Structure 1
Amino acid sequence: MKGSTLELVKVTKRYGQTTAVDAIDLKVEGGAYCCLLGPSGCGKSTTLRMIAGHEAVTDGDVLLGPHNVTDLPPAQRGTAMMFQSYALFPHLTCVDNVAFSLKMRGIDKETRRAKAMELLDLVAMTPYAERLPAQLSGGQQQRVALARALITEPQILLLDEPLSALDPFLRIKMRAELKRLQKELGITFVHVTHGQDEAMALADLVVVMNQGIIEQAGTPREVFNAPRTAFVARFMGGHNVIDVPQGQIAVRADRLSLTPLEGATALVGSAMPAVVRDVEYQGSFVQVGLEAGQANELAAQISEAAFDAMPLQPGDRVAVSWVEADAHRLSTVA
């Protein structure tokens, strides 16, 4: 299998007077792992369905490699879809579920079952080939759904929140499996998620969407360390959006420093007064929630050792400061 470049050109989706996706442009290189990330209702799943051909494009074009596939039916696009619910046929065994699309194409039983067994082996499900979906765990069902999507040898695999139904431990395990398979197969993955940690762990390209537009696209490190907008800074987590005289900035929570605020001691530089709202122990660090006047709610992550040296509790008054080099200026105010 080999991945193809995907390009969206001014792709728009309208439902009556409502615009769900608003003239977005996006290029995903062949063989890349792309995550469409954003809150519910941001347009990410609608975008995925338009790529798949399950939703008609109102305006714009969907290009797969050198071909314009905007008006092609799903089966002729070279894409395969893995749904959130997995959508396995309950009355078919694992091997027959995987082989189903080849059966619909008229491939003989021996050939399609042999190919299905190859894919089950790829996802480590050979011992469960004759089981029904109800006899499998959630993670095992996901592996079967993945094998079924891959049997058509797609150029692009589309995944609609495939890990959301799994428990946290299994979710981490399965995302590592997805990344391994994507690299091994070399095909393009486009994966919809609302989980920032999932996108950061999996993606070569993170695409943050909000209200039908792309707020920012880039590598995980670019998007996390250099958010362009207040929305991206807040949604990616780990950042504080702060109004300063020069404009709006983002400062990572682990880059804030807290010191005692004694009486009316003068504050210098970037420091501002705040009141501790809550304290949460997180193991490797302590999360301190703060109320800071016009800056509103802030969060600081401090090491366990630093917290032990200066224990804090709700109601304590502190000075919050940061190094200017850690302040990232935002280009757009949310």
Structure 2
Amino acid sequence: MAVASVGANDACPEGHALPNRAADLELAAITKAYGETIAVDRVSLKIPAGTYCCLLGPSGCGKSSTLRMIAGHEFISDGDVMIGDTVVNDLPPAKRGTAMMFQSYALFPHLSVRENVAFSLKMAGAAKAERLKRADDLLALVDMTRYGDRLPAQLSGGQQQRVALARALVTNPTVLLLDEPLSALDPFLRIRMRAELKRYQREFGISFIHVTHSQEEAMALADMVVVMNDGRIEQVGSPREVFNAPKTVFVAKFMGGHNVVPEGGKSYAVRADRIKLARPGEAGAKATVTDVEYQGMTVHVALTREDGTDLLVTLAETEFDRAPVSVGDTVSVGWQPADRHELAA
């Protein structure tokens, strides 16, 4: 974990909020090569101060390598990383003003919760009374005060995650880097911790750069979504922009909830909930129902058109119940022209 320098003026003020050290983060054509393999290919991106940014993409797309280059845990093959007005390429992690929260949390098993949180300050030379007070302030912030004397093994996964977050934030970073921080949690706890991460980011006012392969997680958390594929950026935008107006076939398919429909030599995206079903003979193209999947509030109907195009239709349960279909049924499918979004080649 990165360690920032700490002084007496950095102490947490009343209410446990941290001083606002927010700064823009800019990547200028950064590249990461492992021999002949290019993991990150000339990625350029500007993340404004105070942004919750999610780097989103499948395994091997370059998102974690990008995060580690920002942190200083990976050597930059080419390009620049700038935090505020400073190019940090040659700075060690401890001098960048970043802190990193790892997927495994990486807590020291032999240290108490309080000592884990205070460890970075100890390494930075802070006096014992000062570092323990800072640790207690951060534990109060994440509602873990009563667990300060416990060892990590005596905590649940969600509690360990809060300790790891407090330990990362105790150094008062300019940018917090999170590498798949929720992937080890059960689904219910993951949803709860998403809300907590977003709240902490708003309160601190610094940028959180969060790597994830979960579309749902990125849309729930991010102000800015950066979709990556094969070491490059496919699209940048707000969650609504990326979901409602995917620019490429890859983004439309990866984000889910879209059908990629070839027509007239072009590709279009049509959201699954914008496709309408009708009985044969009504307006629309003919299609055969290949699967029906009940999902509680919605029903997913898989179809194959006569031209061989596979489609997925999402219907509200009440809408499906008004006109149910079964595997093997022939139906008509259609959508409004305004619901068709052209994709780049």
State the secondary structure of the residue aligned to 2:328.
Answer: coil
2:157 aligned partner: 138
1:290 maps to what in 2? 303
Inter-CA distance 235–293: structure 2 relative to 1 (3 Å threshold): farther
Q: Cα distance 1:86–1:62, how it changes in 2: closer, same or farther (>3 A)? A: same
Question: Deviation string for 1:22-54 (max 9, x for gaps)?
Answer: 001100000000000000000000000000000
> Would the aligned equivalents of 1:94 and 1:144 in 2 still touch at CA under 8 Å?
yes
The equivalent residue for 2:71 is 52
Q: Which residue number in structure 2 is paired with residue 227 of structure 1?
A: 246
CA gap of 1:293–1:95, structure 2 versus 1, over 3 A, is farther
1:231-274 deviation digits (Å, cap 9, x = unpaired): 0001111100000115110000000001122xxx4x75xx3222
Is residue 321 from structure 1 mapped to residue 334 from structure 2 by the alignment? yes
Deviation at 1:131, TM superposition (A): 0.5
RMSD: 1.1
Task: Choose the corresponding residue for 2:220, options 201, 212, 232.
Answer: 201
Amino acid at match of 2:91: L
Poorly superposed stretches of 4+, deviation over 4 Å: none
Query: Within 5 A, what are the aligned runs for 1:17-56?
Result: 17-56=36-75
Q: What letter matches 2:81 in structure 1?
A: V
Query: Secondary structure of the residue that 1:288 maps to in structure 2?
Result: strand
How many percent identity over aligned positions? 63
1:170 is matched with which residue: 189, 195, 213? 189
> 2:170 is matched with which residue?
151
Alpha-carbon distance in structure 1 between the residues aligned to 2:130 and 2:258? 53
Structure 2 residue aligned with 1:179? 198
After TM superposition, the structure 1 = structure 2 runs for residues 183-332 of structure 1, keeping only pairs within 5 Å, are: 183-245=202-264, 247-261=266-280, 265=281, 271-294=284-307, 296-332=309-345
Deviation at 1:292, TM superposition (A): 2.4
Provide the C-alpha distance between the structure 2 equivalents of 1:312 and 1:9, rounded to a whole number of angstroms.
Answer: 52
Distance 1:299 1:92, change over 3 A: same
**What's the offset of the Cα at 1:2?**
2.5
TM-score normalised by the chain length of structure 1: 0.96
- What code does the residue aligned with 1:286 have? V
TM-score by length of 2: 0.93
How many residues in Structure 1 have an aligned counterpart in Structure 2? 326
In the TM superposition, residue 297 of structure 1 has moved relative to its aligned partner by: 2.1
Structure 2 Cα separation of the partners of residues 219 and 150 of structure 1: 25
User: In the alignment, residue 314 of structure 2 is paired with which amino acid?
Assistant: Q
Corresponding residue to 1:129 among 139, 148, 158: 148
CA distance in 2, matches of 1:305, 1:153: 51
AA of the residue aligned to 1:316: D
1:206-245 CA-partner distances (Å, limit 9, x unpaired): 0000000000000011000000001000111110000011
Query: What is the DSSP-based 3-state SS (H/G/I as helix, E as strand, rest coil) of the residue aligned with 1:99?
Result: helix
Structure 2 SS opposite 1:175: helix
> How far apart in 2 are the matches of 1:20 and 1:295?
35
Distance 2:344 2:274 in 1: 20
CA contact (8 A) 1:2 1:31 kept: no
The gaps in structure 1 that reach 5 residues or longer are none
Counterpart amino acid of residue 344 in structure 2: S
How far did 1:309 drift? 1.6
The separation in 2 between residues aligned to 1:180 and 1:39, in whole angstroms, is 26
Q: CA deviation at 1:275?
A: 1.2
Range with bigger deviation, 32-41 or 98-107: 98-107
1:305 deviation in Å?
1.9
Q: Which residue of 1 aligns with 2:10?
A: none
Unaligned runs of 5+ in 2: 1-19
**Match for residue 5 of structure 2?**
none
Shift in alpha-carbon separation, 1:291–1:101, aligned structure 2, 3 A: same
Q: Is the 8 A contact 1:243 1:294 kept in 2?
A: no
Measured in 2, the distance between the counterparts of 1:313 and 1:125 equals 52
1:286 Cα offset (Å): 0.8
Contact kept, 8 Å, 1:243 with 1:295, in 2: the verdict is: no
- Output the amino acid matched with 1:194: H
**Greater shift after overlay, 297-306 or 319-328?**
297-306
| Greater displacement, 145-154 / 280-289 | 280-289
Deviations 1:133-154 (A, max 9, x none): 0100000000000000001100
Cα distance in 2 for residues equivalent to 1:2 and 1:182: 13
Distance 1:287 1:72, change over 3 A: same
